[in-house]
Structure 1
Amino acid sequence: MKNAVSKAKQTMTARAPKHTALTILGIFAAAVLTAGAATARAQDSSTQQTTSITLPSKIAVAAPVTYDNKYELYGGLSFMNFQAGQALPKRMNLGGGELLGTYWLNHKLGLGLDYRGEAGTTPVYASAGQSPYNISRPLVYMNMLMVGAQYRGPKNQFIAVNYHGYIGASKGIFNATQKQNQPQFYNLTGLYTNRTKPIAALGGSLDFNLSKRAAIRLQPDLILEHFGTETREFFGISGGMVYRFGKR
């Protein structure tokens, strides 16, 4: 019995170094893996810190829209409908452009000078299309110059609402396509004669800011004109670019 116990102790003593070596090797491998993971995390953290520090220096922050400009220019394409004769049964469509300059007295109220040029063809009396005249959809020109006020409503960094009212004069050219052999042109077509009459535009605008100075504008209007015997109402709309400059 003693011999057996002695042999077992000898065997365990012989194997102990092997187990100890494996244990030490395992601890060393775990330490290497842990150190590797810590290094990777440190590198990742350093990369993130470098990125977070570098990016702001490369990407500039847009200047805030302060609406403290003294002047404003607007230019765009425009559309309006119109009736080119007192008793014509149908209306016509005019297309053209608009230029508006505004001088801002303060952060709310501005004075505006507005020009609009429009052209289009109009339906006329059916009898004008018969021989020998054969007049069909003659050309009409409109030149409008108005003055008025612009009031700045709700606004933020992205959008601004403005209200306006302009009044002035409009010169209409209705015989642009009249020929020499058409002395009864106005009676046959039902068109107005060439004349200059009062006109007004009441409406508002919606500015979508691109930057502190530039914006895209959409501007609908109620058009009031007096080319005939009474004041008539029409619809107009324009769209284009706004440029703000000068500090108030």
Structure 2
Amino acid sequence: MLEEIRRRMLRLKTSGAWRVTGARETGRRAIFGVLTTGLLMTGATMSRAQATSSSSTAVPATQTTTVPISNTKIALAAPVTYDNKYEFYVGLNFMNFQAGQSLPKRMNMGGAEFLATYWLPGDHWFTNHVGIGAQYRGEAGTTPVFGQAQGLPYNLSRPLVYMNMGMLGAQYRGPKNQYVAVNYHAYGGVSHGTFDDDLRPGQPGQPTFSQITGLYTNRTKPIAALGGSIDINRSKNWAIRLSPDLILEHFGTETREFFAISGGVVYRLGKQKN
């Protein structure tokens, strides 16, 4: 009996020791975790403080100096003032045309044009927008002809035709700003057309050639160009131009209308006197 009671008390004492040991282990772990967290936070704070201190000491205070624009290599572009005295335009041209009075189809011609303009001086609202211009255009292309020209004696399907045009007229400068300008123009003059360039020695000449092919004979006739242009400014003196036109010509028995368009570069120079 006593032996059994002693064993029970020993068993209870032993289980209580295990409970105390487990509680101590848990407490130790908790304390160790808190200390570890505190040490990590302290180390991070000290590292941040050191980084801030080193960065503040590593970057010295710099003195800001203002450099005048005139002393630098980069300067502002000159404004586009449109006060130029002269203007030159060179561009490539496209035009459609009909090389004979009775030909059923039109032809396409390509070439170049050159325009020189003198802008009138003065402060009048009209004259200070007007420029007097002289223009040359050269066009060439192949044209369809009557079917009978494909046989003897000519054996032609698309003979070459070319034209040289000289015109005088005026430009009127419309809306404009620093980036773009719109102009209107009207030119009139004469055009000389060569229509028998493919006529070879030994072949029947005129008027047989024109009767069989349907082409005009070589001639000089009135011509006019009415249209406008858009100048996209690249600088004060240089611009890119796109210029469409309505072409009026009288090579045949009536006045006919055709379309032309050109694109090229404009160069402005000189300065109007105030």
Q: Distance in 2 between matches of 1:143 and 1:113?
A: 14
Return 5+ residue gaps in structure 1 as ranges. Answer: 1-25
Q: Secondary structure, in 3 states, of the residue corresponding to 1:186?
A: helix
Q: Distance in 2 between matches of 1:214 and 1:88?
A: 42
**Residue 69 of structure 2 contacts residue 75 of structure 2 at CA under 8 Å; is this kept in 1?**
no
Could you say which residue in structure 1 is the equivalent of 2:203? 181
Show CA shifts across 1:169-199 (max 9, x none).
Answer: 0001111111231332111000011111000
Could you say which residue in structure 2 is the equivalent of 1:91? 106
Q: Distance in 2 between matches of 1:116 and 1:159?
A: 25
**Letter matched to residue 113 of structure 1:** A
**Residue 153 of structure 2 contacts residue 203 of structure 2 at CA under 8 Å; is this kept in 1?**
no
Show CA shifts across 1:123-171 (max 9, x none).
Answer: 0001110234211211111010000010001111111110000000000
Could you say which residue in structure 2 is the equivalent of 1:21? none
**Letter matched to residue 100 of structure 2:** G
2:215 to 186, 191, 196: 191
> How far apart are 1:60 and its partner, in Å?
1.2
1:129 aligned onto 2:146: no
Q: Distance in 1 between matches of 2:55 and 2:111?
A: 71
Could you say which residue in structure 1 is the equivalent of 2:83? 68
1:156 to 168, 173, 177: 177
Could you say which residue in structure 1 is the equivalent of 2:139? 118
Could you say which residue in structure 1 is the equivalent of 2:14? none
Q: 1:230 to 1:38 in 2, by over 3 A?
A: farther
Q: Distance in 2 between matches of 1:126 and 1:41?
A: 90
Could you say which residue in structure 1 is the equivalent of 2:249? 225
Q: Secondary structure, in 3 states, of the residue corresponding to 1:229?
A: coil
**Letter matched to residue 204 of structure 2:** Q
> How far apart are 1:59 and its partner, in Å?
1.4
CA RMSD of aligned residues (A): 2.3
Q: Distance in 2 between matches of 1:210 and 1:131?
A: 55
**Letter matched to residue 157 of structure 1:** Q
1:81 aligned onto 2:96: yes
Percent identity reads 64
Structure 1 or 2, whichever has the larger Rg, is 2
TM-score (norm 2): 0.74
Q: Distance in 2 between matches of 1:171 and 1:41?
A: 79
Q: Secondary structure, in 3 states, of the residue corresponding to 1:37?
A: helix
Could you say which residue in structure 1 is the equivalent of 2:231? 207
> How far apart are 1:35 and its partner, in Å?
7.2
**Letter matched to residue 66 of structure 1:** T
1:33 aligned onto 2:55: no
> How far apart are 1:98 and its partner, in Å?
0.2
Aligned residues: 217
Instruction: Say which structure is richer in strand.
Output: 1
Q: Distance in 1 between matches of 2:216 and 2:116?
A: 31
Q: Distance in 2 between matches of 1:178 and 1:33?
A: 93
TM-score (norm 1): 0.81
> How far apart are 1:33 and its partner, in Å?
3.3
Could you say which residue in structure 2 is the equivalent of 1:243? 267
1:59 to 74, 85, 91: 74
> How far apart are 1:204 and its partner, in Å?
0.4
Q: Distance in 2 between matches of 1:131 and 1:143?
A: 30
